[in-house]
Structure 1
Amino acid sequence: MKAEQKPAKIGILTVSDRASAGIYEDISGKAIEATLNDYLTSTWQAVYRVIPDEQEVIEATLCSLVDDEGCCLVVTTGGTGPAERDVTPEATEAVCDRMMPGFGELMRAESLKYVPTAILSRQTAGLRGSSLIVNLPGKPKAIRQCLDVVFPAIPYCIDLMNGPYLECDEAVIKPFRPKK
């Protein structure tokens, strides 16, 4: 890491009516944070939010994490299924300038190795300004499975958007960056 580089800010957003109401503990957001701690060796700061399944609230929170907090990456969990209140992908699409459909395609393909209901998941990803937003499922085990397959592309994606340089523990996850 370059000495003058500030810690990368990464948003962790749990979308859950029950977790936001305190009915149960947010284990999904903590699973994202633990996974990122396993992956990253560069200094980073989590900007953590737990909110209800309300599209306007999700949109406003995503905008705030990117525009106000300066997160180069926002990873969401929850709200990606077929239930009526599962609107995280719609909120993500509403605030993004461009969508990155390959992320959702790859996550579903990986999840299908474990559960046939993976086809019901609507994970997606998109770009807002110079930030990447990635929607993950709500189950902690599925979070790790999905991040394991898409994260190798994330540091280079952030490089291409002139974001902070994310260094990884290559014994845990090997990011792809083209040879110079």
Structure 2
Amino acid sequence: MKAAIFTLDTGMYKAKEESPAAAVLKRMLVQVGFEVKAAGVLPQEKAIAASVFCRLADTKAVDLILTTGACGYREKDCAPDALMASADRLLPGIPEAVRAYTLRYTKKVILDRSAAGIRNKTLIVNLPDSAKAAKEGLEYILPELVQVVETMQV
């Protein structure tokens, strides 16, 4: 199983910083058998992110794309929009489950617009930007993500 992890954050992208959230997610994916083929920071631009998602899915370079950040209500928060522009089908239950799980800890999650979907046979999932929230969200849904990826490879 192959994965890619991208943080959408223009400031981090311009400063060439690495994402703490992406590092945590990478460790978690490797522990369950994923090979992380790509990880990095992208600017908060819908067209760029959607293009990257489409290219990776259409070339079958990865089976799973995780994003962190840019899932809020501000105009520049484009991760869900990029996902929806690139997905063939949406899987609304994934972000709904993460939001319901996270609601126990903070009401701020009601402002989250994360999405999940499939393009070709690649699963794409938006996660929160903080390392702690992204880790908790992925821990909660990881068994189901592995199941989806394994099922689509058949």
Match in the other structure for 1:143: 134
Residue 95 of structure 1: how far off its partner (Å):
0.6
**1:107 is matched by which residue type in structure 2?**
V
Name which of structure 1's ranges 136-145 and 63-72 shifts more when overlaid on structure 2. Answer: 63-72
Superposed CA deviations along residues 61-92 of structure 1, whole A, max 9, x for unmatched, are 11122223610000001110011100110110
**TM-score of the pair, normalised by structure 1:** 0.80
Superposed CA deviations along residues 30-55 of structure 1, whole A, max 9, x for unmatched, are 12112223x41x36233113110001
Correspondence for 1:33 among 26, 31, 42: 26
Q: 2:153 aligns to what SS in structure 1?
A: coil
**TM-score of the pair, normalised by structure 2:** 0.93
Following TM superposition, where does structure 1 have runs of at least 4 consecutive aligned residues deviating by more than 6 angstroms? none
Match in the other structure for 1:178: none
Match in the other structure for 2:106: 115
Correspondence for 1:13 among 6, 26, 50: 6
* Preserved contact between residue 2 and residue 34 of structure 2 (Cα < 8 Å): no
Structure 2 segments unaligned to the other structure (5+ residues)? none
* Preserved contact between residue 26 and residue 36 of structure 2 (Cα < 8 Å): no
Q: Distance in 1 between matches of 2:41 and 2:147?
A: 28
Shift of the 158–23 alpha-carbon distance from structure 1 to 2, 3 Å rule, reads closer
**2:137 is matched by which residue type in structure 1?**
C
Structural RMSD (CA): 1.5
* Preserved contact between residue 9 and residue 47 of structure 1 (Cα < 8 Å): no
Match in the other structure for 1:175: none
Structure 1 segments unaligned to the other structure (5+ residues)? 1-7, 164-180
**1:135 is matched by which residue type in structure 2?**
N
- Structure with the greater alpha carbon radius of gyration: 1
**1:33 is matched by which residue type in structure 2?**
K
* Preserved contact between residue 125 and residue 132 of structure 1 (Cα < 8 Å): yes
Correspondence for 1:72 among 48, 60, 63: 63
Q: Distance in 2 between matches of 1:160 and 1:144?
A: 24
Q: What percentage of aligned pairs have identical amino acids?
A: 31
Correspondence for 2:89 among 77, 98, 118: 98
* Preserved contact between residue 107 and residue 123 of structure 1 (Cα < 8 Å): no
**1:130 is matched by which residue type in structure 2?**
K
Q: Distance in 2 between matches of 1:97 and 1:19?
A: 29
* Preserved contact between residue 93 and residue 99 of structure 1 (Cα < 8 Å): yes
Q: Distance in 1 between matches of 2:51 and 2:16?
A: 23
Q: Distance in 2 between matches of 1:148 and 1:97?
A: 25
> How many residues matched?
154
